[in-house]
């Protein structure tokens, strides 16, 4: 199709700042590689959930080779618990996800979801045929999980939702696009957690004013009296911002944190979004730190809404460490702007006659 795609927007975003309603934990970072009971170079992007009165955490754990240069020697997922959500006791082994009698390799980028009275791990794993997503159920002790579904490439940011919707399980996902098209957040439904379909757009990159490259799910959605709250990450790219990072790579992307609200009775219907980011990389441990794997990056993976209305958001900083920030639900609601998706679906094309072809 020769017509322009109005949603393939490469405008430069410009300067961004964190919203003052977000308060970083003074003791950040709360988890680094040197706090783990096994060799590690990075401990970041940790899924966090509150389950049976305790906080559970599942950080991504990367190990560089002895020369300290990429590619990684290994990638895995840690697992630990806490009484206060800040100080975690980590298991002595990395997570094992069992699938058809074998342990999946390089499980990473995990999220934790409490569904019913079970704890689930959503994850991605690396293999010779590209990255694949999956969902696994915890055995109730130790670090062993059993895969209930494994998807096809290329997918990341798969997140199991904490409740059934009209009798169906729901998950979020972010498939990779080609030819430089933006990445969006999609959803799929399932009757049994194994077979998934009815996939459709949940939130488009074009719906987030501070993204021009991609968006993806962060923490599992949280039920509130006002709607389903989704904390997500947004990415913009600006070549003029390029810096050299680990391994001599050029890095010009910026990962920020935003929030969206969806209808309680129909969680596929967008009703509000933050028009500016909640959090950007500004603290010393988020940017400019010698240990950072990437710069300009905050990446939310866990959120816990406490009974007193405090919202704890767990996020990775620079693909290096795990941090904590807090706000309250009433404060966060003030940062949301009522809206609807620009594209009602991603199935029916927009009407090209409504758009002027470039001269």
Q: Is 74 exposed, middle or buried (0-12, 13-18, 19+ CB in 10 A)?
A: middle
Q: Which H or E run includes 353?
A: none
DSSP-H helix ranges across the chain: 329-334
Q: How far apart are CA 276 and CA 21, in angstroms?
A: 12
Q: State the pLDDT confidence band at 96, using cuts at 50, 70 and 90.
A: very high
First-last CA distance in the chain: 16
Average pLDDT over residues 116-127: 94
Among candidate residues 151, 143, 192, the one with its CA nearest the CA of residue 172: 151
Task: Render pLDDT for 233-253 as a digit per residue (tens, 0 to 9).
Answer: 999 999 999 988 877 788 999
Confidence of residue 176 (pLDDT cuts 50, 70, 90): confident
Mean pLDDT of 302-324: 97
Characterize the bridge pairing of strands 96-99 and 144-150. Answer: parallel
User: What is the C-alpha separation between 211 and 258, in angstroms, rounded?
Assistant: 10
Superfamily covering domain 23-341: Glycosyl hydrolase domain; family 43 (2.115.10.20)
The stretch 66-91 carries a mean pLDDT of: 92
- CA quadruple 203, 208, 214, 217: dihedral positive or negative? negative
| Pick from 7, 56, 59: nearest CA to 38 | 59
With a cut of 60, say whether residue 356 has pLDDT above it: no
pLDDT in tens, 126-166: 888 888 999 999 999 999 999 999 988 888 889 999 999 99
Q: Residue 217's pLDDT is what?
A: 96
Region class of 116: left (phi > 0), else alpha (psi between -120 and 50), else beta: left
Domain coordinates of the chain in residue numbers? 23-341
pLDDT at 348: 64
Task: Report whether pLDDT(181) > 90.
Answer: no
Question: What pTM was computed for the model?
Answer: 0.94
Instruction: State the pLDDT at residue 103.
Output: 97
């Amino acid at each position: 199709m020769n017509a322009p795609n109005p949603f393939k927007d490469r405008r430069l975003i410009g300067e961004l700042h964190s919203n003052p309603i977000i308060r970083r934990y003074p003791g950040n970072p709360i988890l680094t590689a040197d706090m783990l009971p096994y060799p590690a170079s990075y401990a970041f992007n940790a899924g966090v959930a509150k389950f049976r009165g305790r906080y559970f955490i599942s950080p991504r754990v990367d190990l560089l080779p002895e020369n300290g240069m990429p590619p990684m020697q290994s990638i895995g997922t840690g697992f630990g618990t806490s009484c206060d959500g800040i100080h975690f006791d980590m298991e002595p082994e990395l997570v094992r996800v069992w699938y058809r009698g074998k342990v999946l390799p390089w499980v990473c980028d995990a999220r934790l979801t409490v569904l019913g009275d079970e704890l689930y791990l959503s994850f991605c794993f690396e293999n010779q045929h590209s990255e694949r997503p999956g969902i696994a159920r915890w055995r109730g002790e130790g670090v062993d999980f059993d895969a209930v579904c494994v998807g096809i490439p290329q997918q990341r940011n798969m997140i199991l939702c904490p409740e059934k919707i009209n009798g169906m399980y729901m998950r979020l996902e972010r498939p990779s696009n080609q030819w430089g098209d933006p990445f969006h957040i999609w959803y799929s439904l399932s009757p049994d957690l194994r077979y998934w379909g009815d996939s459709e757009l949940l939130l488009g990159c074009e719906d987030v004013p501070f993204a021009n490259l991609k968006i993806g799910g962060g923490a599992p959605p949280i039920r509130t009296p006002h709607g389903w709250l989704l904390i997500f990450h947004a990415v913009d790219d600006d070549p003029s911002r390029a810096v050299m990072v680990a391994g001599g790579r050029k890095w010009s992307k910026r990962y920020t944190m935003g929030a969206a609200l969806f209808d309680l009775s129909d969680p596929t219907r967008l009703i509000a979004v933050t028009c500016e980011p909640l959090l950007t990389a500004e603290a010393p441990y988020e940017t400019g730190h010698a240990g950072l794997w990437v710069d300009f990056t905050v990446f939310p993976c866990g959120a816990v809404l406490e009974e007193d209305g405090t919202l704890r958001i767990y996020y990775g900083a620079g693909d290096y460490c795990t941090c904590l920030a807090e706000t309250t639900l009433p404060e966060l609601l003030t940062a949301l702007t009522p809206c609807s998706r620009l594209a009602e679906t991603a199935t029916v094309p927009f009407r090209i006659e409504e758009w002027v072809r470039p001269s």
